Chain A
């Protein structure tokens, strides 16, 4: 199902893994958007990057987007 978003809850977990280049970034963005849609639930968001080999700036933008849209308290 979801490739990156592992858990949505008070503590939400996103696993960044593999090769996230500009062509893959939109898929990551879509998953993060579904997470953001439930932002009232989320108190903490953890990104796991130990299996991340490469991330293009487009991918980083998705991560920044999530942080910005979830708000300052997360």
Chain B
């Protein structure tokens, strides 16, 4: 379990964050496909915080909700107050290469992979929660 583990919100630290998150995921998920999908989600969320939020630190939590058999992540940052779940750009996955915009892919990915996402703002900090039930 990771409990509000603090990391500097820097690109050089991203690998380490993902390794620790990966270790947690592998405690519960055995399917390589899902382990990969969850890492991709975590990477996208963390990369956005590092690149765009302005936050110096990020706090990562990961715990397993027994009753719901669900893995819960929480990402907390102190950057610009920003809800990534609001008005995500439409991603047309049927579109041709020319029409396909580059942006919006990341959010599309993690909203597709995770069962549930929640955002709230507490004490001036962004809190993003992501849930995935065991498969």
Judge A-B direct contact (beta carbons within 8 Å).
Answer: yes
Q: Contact residues of A with B, CB < 8 Å?
A: 22, 25-26, 29, 32-33, 56, 58, 61-62, 64-65, 68-69
- The prevalent SS among residues of B at the interface is loop
A59: shortest Cβ distance to chain B, in Å? 9
Question: Which one of B54, B81, B103, B124 lies within 8 Å of A62 (CB-CB)?
Answer: B54
Q: How large is the interface on B (under 10, 10 to 19, 20 to 34, 35 or more residues)?
A: 10 to 19
Residues on A with beta carbons closer than 8 Å to the beta carbon of B81: 64, 68
How many Å lie between the Cα of A68 and that of B79 in the bound state? 9
Q: Which B residues lie at the A interface, using CB under 8 A?
A: 51-54, 79-82, 103, 124
7 closest A-B pairs by beta carbon, nearest first, are: A65-B80, A65-B54, A58-B52, A64-B80, A61-B80, A61-B52, A29-B54
> How far apart are the CA atoms of A22 and B50 in the complex, in Å?
12
Which one of A56, A58, A61 has the greatest number of beta carbons of chain B within 10 Å?
A: A61
